[in-house]
Chains A and B, each alone.
Chain A
Amino acid sequence: AQSVTQPDIHITVSEGASLELRCNYSYGATPYLFWYVQSPGQGLQLLLKYFSGDTLVQGIKGFEAEFKRSQSSFNLRKPSVHWSDAAEYFCAVGGPTGGGNKLTFGTGTQLKVEL
């Protein structure tokens, strides 16, 4: 069975500081990995995704993530956080054996940005 673990429930960073949100996954084959962001009361917006190839992927809003198969991780990073980045971030895993578009989400990390 596929699963996703986001060990940090809450993270607080100062504006301008760097950010790393952790994500570990369990999947029986090569996974499709995603990071989504959710603002209060809103749906999810895709930040970036990894399917294959270069293990460092670039996304929107200056975010990037690195796939590390040996560590089963897909951590999200941003060099300099902006106050507007405060939101809930979800890591998700999917793939062919999971029915393609059937995603399993982590429990999310709530990001707070201090001015």
Chain B
Amino acid sequence: GAVVSQHPSWVICKSGTSVKIECRSLDFQATTMFWYRQFPKQSLMLMATSNEGSKATYEQGVEKDKFLINHASLTLSTLTVTSAHPEDSSFYICSAPKPGTVAEAFFGQGTRLTVV
């Protein structure tokens, strides 16, 4: 069935470098995708809404220049954490709306980012 594939599942990077996380919808198109961040033992916090062919919509308090989102095609959204710092270490999860539904979504497997 339709799923969302997120890559990589984990990544370790040095402070100051950038990391790109990919979110792909398999077997269906997604004009919108969502990026969440989850701190240890906390809930998922919506960071931004990725819109195919247009700018992403960021939630209040999320730095646009630090978390770059690109939704270049109907099946791919990318989140780039720029100039990463240890405090950016977190679990990042993407989701895409399930076709034919109003509020259901498929979630990616998540990416564990560790900045050292």
Residues of chain A having any CB pair with chain B under 8 Å:
32, 34, 36, 41-46, 49, 51, 90, 94-96, 99-108, 110
If A43-B108, A101-B34, A101-B97 touch, does A95 touch B103 (CB 8 Å cutoff)? yes
Q: How far is the CA of A33 from the CA of B112 in the complex (A)?
A: 27
Cβ–Cβ contact B42 & A107, under 8 A: yes
Does B67 touch A at the CB level, under 8 Å? no
Q: Which bucket holds chain B's interface residue count?
A: 20 to 34
Cβ-closest chain B residue relative to A106: B43
CB distance from B39 to the nearest CB of A (A): 10
CB distance from A90 to the nearest CB of B (A): 7
B104: A residues at CB distance < 8 A: 34, 46, 49, 101
Secondary structure type dominating chain A contacts: strand
Q: Which one of A44, A46, A104, A110 has the greatest number of beta carbons of chain B within 10 Å? A: A44
CB distance from A98 to the nearest CB of B (A): 8
Cβ–Cβ contact B43 & A43, under 8 A: no
Q: How far is the CA of A66 from the CA of B57 in the complex (A)?
A: 34
CB distance from B97 to the nearest CB of A (A): 4
B6: A residues at CB distance < 8 A: 43
Picked from B43, B46, B103, the residue with its CB within 8 Å of the CB of A90 is B43
CB distance from A35 to the nearest CB of B (A): 12
B95: A residues at CB distance < 8 A: 44, 101
Cβ–Cβ contact A94 & B107, under 8 A: no
